């Protein structure tokens, strides 16, 4: 069982038209070699202008032997430069999992994570009335914000958050989140040997709302800090910097 987890960002940007994939990319190419050598956690996506629908993937890796060091910063938050323009955002959960976690436990943990962000701004960010769909899959651009458990074919990846956005208007239009079933999931407070659903989901939903990872060791307490462990529940709650970044996008 892996004891230390590094939430490293691997960024792949895929240019999409609304009718299909346009077949172009920038930044780090979406290849296995690029994933294996992704050691630049400070490289969150930079959003420009005049692009159609694009996709960015935050792929979170197990800590490498020689991890890259994040850039020093005075602010313990990072904005992606895109956000939701129409609120509240609907999301759908597929509670199916191989760990015996009940639908009630899964939906409660995820909705609690969503409410953690909602409670720190007057905007209603994430709809309290989430959906449940046992047929839902990760990774399809269908304007459904999907949250699923599934196998990701890399033992060192604990989860993936994909965001579809448009540079014109700097608008997020969809996020999908996958929790990798190669790790054991549940209540990390009750069992410190497993990955805590609420802890990791609070971090992942931060990406879905428009925040990047932070890798400055002085910011290790914040929810968007890029490291975690089994049994870690510290990131269930937000710190001042997480809240500052959230309110910079969505107001007090």
Which SS3 state, helix, strand or coil, does residue 169 take? coil
More confident: 10 or 173: 173
Sign of CA dihedral 107, 110, 115, 118: negative
Asked if 1 contacts 60 with a C-beta cutoff of 8 angstroms, the reply is no
Cis peptide leading into residue 140 (ω within 30°): no
Bridge partners of 150, per DSSP, are 180
pLDDT of res. 12: 41
Q: What is the Cα–Cα distance from 61 to 4, expressed in whole angstroms? A: 10
> Comparing C-alpha atoms, which of 178, 108, 95 is closest to residue 135?
95
pLDDT of res. 70: 53
pLDDT at 232 over 70: yes
Give the residue carrying structure tokens 């529940």: 233
Asked if 9 contacts 59 with a C-beta cutoff of 8 angstroms, the reply is yes
Q: What is the mean pLDDT of residues 161-172?
A: 94
pLDDT at 174 over 60: yes
Q: What is the mean pLDDT of residues 34-53?
A: 45
In order, the DSSP letters of 2-43 are ---EE-----EEEEEETTEEEEEEEES-SSHHHHHT---TT-
Bridge partners of 5, per DSSP, are 62, 228
Q: What is the mean pLDDT of residues 81-108?
A: 98
Q: Which CATH architecture has domain 5-250?
A: 3-Layer(aba) Sandwich (3.40)
Residue ranges per structural domain of the chain: 5-250
pLDDT of res. 87: 97
pLDDT at 141 over 90: yes
Find all residues with CB under 8 Å of 230, minimum gap 6, and list them: 1, 2, 3, 5, 183, 184, 188, 192, 193, 194, 195, 196
Q: What is the mean pLDDT of residues 93-115?
A: 98
């Amino acid at each position: 069982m892996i004891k230390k987890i590094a939430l490293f960002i691997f960024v792949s940007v895929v240019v999409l038209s609304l009718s299909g994939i346009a077949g172009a990319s920038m930044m780090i190419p979406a290849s296995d070699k690029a994933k294996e050598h992704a050691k630049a956690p400070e490289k969150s996506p930079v959003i420009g202008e005049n692009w159609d629908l694009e996709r960015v993937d935050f792929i979170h890796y197990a800590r490498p032997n020689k991890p890259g060091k994040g850039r020093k910063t005075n602010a313990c938050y990072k904005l992606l430069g895109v956000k939701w323009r129409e609120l509240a955002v609907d999301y759908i959960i597929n509670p199916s999992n191989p760990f015996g976690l009940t639908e009630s436990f899964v939906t409660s943990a995820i909705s609690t994570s969503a409410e953690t962000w909602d409670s720190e701004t007057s905007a209603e960010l994430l709809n309290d009335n989430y959906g449940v769909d046992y047929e839902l899959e990760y990774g399809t651009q269908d304007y459904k914000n999907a949250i699923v458990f599934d196998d990701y074919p890399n033992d060192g990846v604990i989860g993936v958050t994909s965001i579809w956005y448009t540079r014109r208007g700097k608008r997020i239009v969809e996020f999908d989140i996958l929790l990798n079933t190669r790790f054991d999931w549940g209540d990390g407070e009750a069992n410190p040997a497993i990955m805590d659903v609420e802890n990791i989901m609070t971090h992942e939903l931060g990406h879905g709302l428009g925040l990047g990872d932070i890798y400055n060791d002085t910011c290790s307490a914040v929810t968007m800090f890029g490291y975690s462990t089994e049994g870690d529940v510290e990131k269930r709650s937000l710190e001042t910097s997480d809240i500052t970044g959230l309110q910079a996008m969505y107001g007090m």
